[in-house]
A and B are shown apart, each in its own frame.
Chain A
Amino acid sequence: MLDASSNRISSPQLFLIFSRIGLTSFGGGLSGWLLREFVHSRKWLTEEEFFSGLAISQAMPGINVTNMAIWIGYRLRGNSGAIASFLGIIVLPGMLMVLVGTLFASLQGFDITHIALDGAAAAAVGLSLSLGLTAARRVPRKVIPMAIMVATFVAIGVLHWPLMWVVLVSVFVSIALAHLTTA
């Protein structure tokens, strides 16, 4: 079922919101933008709905942010919402990227371009880190889920083990344990 609140949201509106995010998110951290926009500012999705989609987007192949666009668009407006959100996050940003590509030679000549982008990237880490902290806050305060979160973090972030195997093993173990403990 569509939420009651979603009656107010149209597909063109979703296209515009995703285009705006796609065109202004210098430095990355797009999933953090989406959490802020759809959950915390507009309250169109609950944290629960958002993080279910994010967990699936991460565990499945696919670009996280386009997967999230499809997930959110479908949640809010069904098929047309999914298509509008997907097109929103790639069409105009893709055109902008080609445009920047043609100007690159002249942009690259200026030190200031690199300095500004380094600053944008550092600030945008805040979006990713606040997303990560919000996700961590939602993990149940129990030994097993906490241990799985820490083990995944250490395996990928510190030991640099191959992502695909870490994800496959930790997803399998974590789901098997959840199966045993969920009523």
Chain B
Amino acid sequence: MSEPLRTLLAVFAPLSLLTIGGGQSVVADIQRQVVDVHHWMTAREFVDLFAISRMTPGPGSLLATLIGWHVAGFWGAIVATIGIFAPTAFLIFGLAHIWRRYSGARWQRVLETGLRPVAAGMILASVYVLIRTLDGGWLAQLLAIASTAVLMTTRVNPFVVVLAGMGIFISLHAVGLV
């Protein structure tokens, strides 16, 4: 394995194990390593790659794939992707296996009961932060609430709701509101 590929793996594999609560928790450290430590790109280029990872559908942590591609082309993309996803993939795979094997055991019910309120609090906290930082001001927040109401009360495909959100914002832009 060539030098940049080894370094990509050495950057992303340890970060994989620090992604508690989701991929967003390590973005700041990815930036530090990619820009300040290894000088693979400028801060400006990093911001662009981050913006691309936000605008593309799919897991935001594919940011690692994009960085790998930028640093070392095709194999860089493959190695960075393996680095950020594989270590924790094996971890959760092992847990899924154990969970099924000991299905219904008391310790499992204890863990599920104990984790439930923490998981709910974490999801609501990240949504709360998300709503407060939405681009587009109170109209965006109103749209978020309306979208929640539609999704909670109907069986509409989420893609339709997201497309409607795009359409509404483009229309609002056309009349000068956003």
Contact = CB atoms under 8 A, between A and B. Distances in A.
A170 interface: yes
A16 interface: no
B99 A52 contact: yes
Interface residues of B, number: 96
A157 interface: yes
B65 A98 contact: yes
A73 to B, nearest CB: 9
A45 B125 CA distance: 25
A127 to B, nearest CB: 6
A129 B173 contact: no
Contacts of A152: 117-118, 120-122, 125
A9 interface: no
Contacts of B58: 22-23, 25, 30, 89-90, 93-94, 96-97
B19 A123 contact: no
A30 B167 CA distance: 21
Contact of A55 (B19, B118, B135, B161): B118
B100 A75 contact: yes
Contacts of A174: 114-115, 117-118
A107 B51 CA distance: 12
Main secondary structure on B side of the interface with A: helix
B124 A132 contact: yes
Contacts, number: 357
Interface string A60-77: 111111110011001100
A12 interface: no
Interface of A is mostly: helix
Interface in A130-168: 130-133, 135-136, 138-140, 145-146, 148-158, 163-164, 167
Tier of interface size on chain A: 35 or more
B43 interface: no
Pick from B65, B84, B123, B124 the residue with the most CB of A within 10 Å.
Answer: B123
B130 interface: yes
Interface of B: 16-23, 25, 48-49, 51-62, 65-66, 69-70, 77, 81, 84-85, 88-89, 91-93, 95-97, 99-100, 103, 106, 109-131, 134-136, 140-141, 143-152, 155, 158-159, 161-170, 173, 178
24 contacts: A24-B57, A25-B158, A36-B151, A52-B112, A53-B96, A58-B118, A58-B119, A59-B119, A60-B20, A65-B59, A66-B61, A90-B58, A97-B56, A97-B62, A100-B55, A114-B135, A118-B135, A119-B170, A125-B147, A127-B151, A132-B123, A153-B121, A156-B122, A178-B114
Interface of A: 1, 22-33, 36, 40-41, 51-67, 70-71, 74-75, 82, 86, 89-90, 93-94, 96-98, 100-101, 104, 107-108, 111-133, 135-136, 138-140, 145-146, 148-158, 163-164, 167, 170-171, 174-179, 181-182
